[in-house]
Structure formats: structure tokens, C-alpha cells
């Protein structure tokens, strides 16, 4: 990472009485970079959002209410993705390779792999009906082997769980990004969500991504700011006419 994106914990100059440092802030590392920015910001946000005033009247969902659920889904999705990859490796090892059948096709220097009945059907003019039937039977046997092995390993179950979490996480993230923030911590939570969704590895170099990363790091550093509302001005959506 460029030096401009390596932030060091700086002393905070505040007006009036300083706010006591939270547990996460006391444990903050000396250098903040691409490897730890998002996780550190999440640690700070968990504490800052929990410090905000509780809801006293019913109304629309607040950013501070949905961000913890979205972040938990994101963490769970990473965990399930790692498990699914591990189980996939185990399944390939036990079955001897992918769910496919190797076919020697006239005119091809190397055998090709077919994964479905549609792919086998497309080979009919080339390999003839008898060979096509043999390949179909081989693919059915291969599928039975995979199904039997997967019943023990659980790869497809993990894949289905991952896909469901991705769907739910995506919905939560999109909702979070359109909710109006009322506090500085809620603004930072939206920025954190945006970076995780659009630049999870923090590698995008064109603007505004480096600037957005810097803004999130600045939020981590502003330890003495009270959790006062950010919106004494009314939240204005893009496209809304000026008053």
C-alpha cells in the first residue's frame, strides 16, 4: 500500500473534556492499512453504534439497527465460503476429479470433458449414437458417485447455505445504503458497508475509492467526537429538488 494509505494512530486534540477511550480504541494497532482497515472499523463501529441513544418511538429502521445484522451476515458468509471450499477440495479428492466425463472426439488432439446431457447431445453428429449413449451412461454413474460422496461430505449443503447468505446479505446491504444516517457513526457504517460491498480487498485505485478509505480511517481516529446527530440538516436524497 502507498504511504498515503498507511495511517498511524495520532494524538487527538479536542475541545473541552476528552471522551474516555473505548476498549477497541485502546487495542488499536499502531498502523492501519488495507489488511486491517475494515475489521478495525467494524470493531469501532460496534462500540460507537451501541453507544447511540436507543429508539424511543416506532418508525423506520435506523442504520445502527441494520448494520450489525449485515456485518454478522458478511462474517458468516466468509466462514461458510471457506468451509464450502474445503469441502469441495475433499469431494474432488474422494471422487477423483470434477463431475464430468472425458470423451475422445475425432479431430481433437486432446480429450474434452462434458458436464451435462446438453453437451453430450451436441457431440452426437461427431461421435455417433452408440458412443453418445455410452457417454450418457458414464455421466449418470459419475453423478451417482458424486451424490454418494456428497452425502457424507456435505458440499452441496454448504453451497446452498452460502448462496442463501449471499442473497440475504445483499438485501441487507442494499437497504443499509439507502437508509438516512442521523449520527456520525451511522454515516461511517454506511461508508464501511459500501467499501465491503464494492472494494472488499481495498485495491481499487481510481477515485473516489482511495479517498473513501481515507475517510473511514479518519473516523477511526476521531476518538474525542461525541455521538451527536450528524443531521441537524434534513437528509436530502439525490434528485430531490432544492428548497
pLDDT in tens, the chain (243 residues): 444 444 433 333 233 333 444 555 556 666 888 889 999 999 999 999 999 988 777 878 899 999 999 999 999 999 999 999 999 999 999 999 999 988 888 877 888 888 999 988 888 888 888 988 999 999 999 999 999 999 999 999 999 999 999 999 999 999 999 999 999 999 999 999 999 999 999 999 998 999 999 999 999 877 544 455 544 333 333 333 333
Does residue 34 form part of some domain?
Answer: yes
Does residue 99 form part of some domain?
Answer: no
Does residue 205 form part of some domain?
Answer: yes
Phi, psi (rounded to 5 degrees) for 139 = -70, -35
Nearest-angstrom CA–CA distance, 98 and 242: 59
Structural domain of 29 = 1-9+20-62+182-231
Are 45 and 189 within 8 A, CB to CB? Answer: yes
Nearest-angstrom CA–CA distance, 220 and 25: 8
Does residue 225 form part of some domain?
Answer: yes
Question: How many structural domains comprise the chain?
Answer: 1
CA angle, corner 221, sides to 6 and 76, nearest 5? 80
Helix (H) or strand (E) holding 117: helix 117-122
Amino acid at each position: 500500500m502507498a504511504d498515503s494509505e498507511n495511517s498511524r494512530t495520532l494524538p487527538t486534540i479536542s475541545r473541552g473534556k476528552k471522551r474516555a477511550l473505548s476498549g477497541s480504541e485502546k487495542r488499536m494497532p499502531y498502523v492501519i492499512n488495507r489488511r486491517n482497515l475494515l475489521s478495525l472499523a467494524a470493531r469501532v463501529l460496534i462500540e460507537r453504534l451501541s453507544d447511540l441513544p436507543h429508539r424511543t418511538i416506532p418508525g423506520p429502521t435506523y442504520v445502527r439497527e441494520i448494520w450489525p445484522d449485515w456485518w454478522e451476515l458478511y462474517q458468516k458468509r466468509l466462514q461458510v465460503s471457506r468451509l464450502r471450499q474445503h469441502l469441495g477440495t475433499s469431494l474432488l479428492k474422494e471422487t477423483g476429479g470434477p463431475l464430468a466425463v472425458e470423451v475422445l472426439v475425432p479431430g481433437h488432439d486432446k480429450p474434452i470433458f462434458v458436464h451435462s446431457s446438453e453437451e453430450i447431445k451436441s457431440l452426437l453428429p461427431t461421435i455417433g449414437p452408440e458412443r453418445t449413449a455410452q457417454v450418457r451412461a458414464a455421466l449418470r454413474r459419475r453423478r451417482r458417485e458424486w451424490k454418494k460422496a456428497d452425502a457424507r461430505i456435505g458440499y452441496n449443503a454448504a453451497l446452498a447455505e452460502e448462496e442463501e447468505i449471499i442473497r440475504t446479505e445483499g438485501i441487507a446491504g442494499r437497504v443499509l445504503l439507502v437508509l438516512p444516517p442521523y449520527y456520525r457513526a451511522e454515516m461511517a457504517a454506511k461508508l464501511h458497508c459500501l467499501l465491503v460491498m464494492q472494494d472488499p480487498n481495498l485495491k481499487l485505485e481510481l477515485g473516489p475509492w482511495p479517498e473513501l478509505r481515507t475517510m473511514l480511517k479518519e473516523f477511526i481516529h476521531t476518538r474525542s467526537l461525541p455521538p451527536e446527530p450528524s443531521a441537524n440538516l434534513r437528509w436530502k436524497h439525490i434528485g430531490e429538488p432544492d428548497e
